[in-house]
Amino acid sequence: MTEHHIPYSLALHGGCGVMAPEDMTPTEWEEAREHLKQALRAGWHVLSSGGTAVDAVQATVLVMENSIYFNAGYGAALNSDAEHELDAAIMDGETLAAGAVCGARHIRNPVLAARRLLDLGESVLLTAEGADNFAKQQGLECVESDYFTTPRRLAALESMRRHQQAGTYKAARESEKHGTVGAVARDINGHLAAATSTGGYTNKPAGRIGDSPIIGAGTYARDGVCAVSGTGQGEFFIRHVMAYDIAARMSYGGETLEQAANKLVLGEFKQLGVGAGAIAIDAHGNVCAPYNTLGMFRGWVLPNGMAVVATHDELFEFVL
């Protein structure tokens, strides 16, 4: 994607491995795209008002955490105990400050708890009950766990349990497995930020933590280089330190954003059979959004101020 002529940039994803077209009605696909547009508008409003990249990615992710269509916050996946364990992270490329929570059960919007940790500057990562207690102490909205549960996620859990019993997990649809939301931004001062939030994958072992809250794996931002948010099979992202590796390839290897991201997502991960996607922005505002699965919920802003959302190959332009 070409370099931006406007001084700020924004991109988002709502998870790769997007459902097969027949898994939702045309109306549902349209509504999901509308929620992506709302998320882009929220982040863009921050940037166009002179706000920071950190505020922009938080605003963008917040909208997706509140949407039924994405596996983060409301509508998050259920683990093997039929419970929700939520992960989120946010990182400021200017200072490398970061905050993250994992295994949370009651934080309505995990990205807000991650942001509070970033701002306090003491701990980077809090887990489970500690994360929930921190959110309560900070006055963030906490809810009963069943707030996150939707009929679609209950059906996905039952389907994954059947696949597990039959030994056919690999045949399961991506919509029954996992999903993540994320955003990356460059603000008017050239600072970068990234945020990611997820419910993990359906029928995951209780206590499992993926890449999203792990700084350098699923979330990373460094001024002058890039900001990255990943989506896919998180265990591989952790092992490959995916988000940081993209930054390192650029910083040490001289690769462009597109070269670095594509080598991992369309190269190494694809060769390993690992479903993966990422959104990334470089220091100049160039956007890259590779994925090697059937599709990826995604969106970004074009140089002329027009915005794009997509689920599969087709791109939908709209006015912010």
Q: How confident is the model at residue 170 (pLDDT cuts 50, 70, 90)?
A: low
Q: How confident is the model at residue 144 (pLDDT cuts 50, 70, 90)?
A: very high
Read off the pLDDT of each residue in 273-297 and give the average, rounded to a whole number. Answer: 95
Q: What is the DSSP code string of 84-113? A: --EEEEEEETTT--EEEEEEESSBS-HHHH
Which tokens is 265 given? Answer: 């997502």
Ranking 3-7, 133-137, 306-310 by mean pLDDT, the lowest is 3-7
- For residues 89 and 220, the answer to whether their CB atoms sit within 8 Å is no
Side-chain-side CA neighbours of residue 125 (13 Å): 15
Q: Which residues contact 89 (CB under 8 A, 6 or more apart)?
A: 98, 99, 100, 101, 114, 125, 195, 196, 197, 212, 213, 214, 215, 218, 219
Q: To 10 degrees, what angle do helices 110-120 and 53-65 make?
A: 160
Read off the pLDDT of each residue in 118-147 and give the average, rounded to a whole number. Answer: 98
pLDDT the model gives residue 205: 95
Read off the pLDDT of each residue in 140-163 and give the average, rounded to a whole number. Answer: 92
- For residues 183 and 12, the answer to whether their CB atoms sit within 8 Å is yes
Residue-wise burial string across 22-40, b where 16 or more C-beta atoms lie within 10 A, e elsewhere: eebeeeebeebbebbbebb
pLDDT the model gives residue 21: 82
247-264 tens-digit pLDDT: 999 999 999 999 999 999
pLDDT the model gives residue 20: 79
Position 111 pLDDT exceeds 60: yes
Most confident by average pLDDT, 28-32, 89-93, 200-204? 89-93
Ranking 33-47, 92-106, 162-176, 211-225 by mean pLDDT, the lowest is 162-176
Instruction: Kindly report whether the global pTM for this prediction surpasses the value 0.75.
Output: yes
- For residues 110 and 134, the answer to whether their CB atoms sit within 8 Å is no
Q: How far apart are CA 279 and CA 258, in angstroms?
A: 10
Q: Annotated active-site positions, please?
A: 180
Q: How far apart are CA 150 and CA 38, in angstroms?
A: 21
How many other CB atoms are found less than 10 A from the CB of residue 205? 11
Q: How far apart are CA 167 and CA 163, in angstroms?
A: 6
pLDDT the model gives residue 24: 87
Question: What amino acid occupies position 299?
Answer: G
- Domain borders along the chain are 9-252+298-319
Q: ∠ CA 92-317-40 to the nearest 5 degrees?
A: 25
> Mean pLDDT, the chain, as a whole number?
93
pLDDT the model gives residue 89: 98
Q: What is the DSSP code string of 25-80? A: -HHHHHHHHHHHHHHHHHHHHHHHTT--HHHHHHHHHHHHHT-TTSSSSTT----T
DSSP label of 263: I
Read off the pLDDT of each residue in 225-253 and give the average, rounded to a whole number. Answer: 97
Position 6 pLDDT exceeds 90: no
Q: Where are the alpha helices (DSSP H) in the chain?
A: 26-48, 53-65, 110-120, 128-137, 151-166, 234-240, 242-251, 257-262, 269-272
Position 167 pLDDT exceeds 80: no
Position 96 pLDDT exceeds 90: yes
The percentage of the chain sitting over the pLDDT mark of 90, rounded to a whole number, equals: 84
Helices (H) and strands (E) in the chain, counts: 9, 13
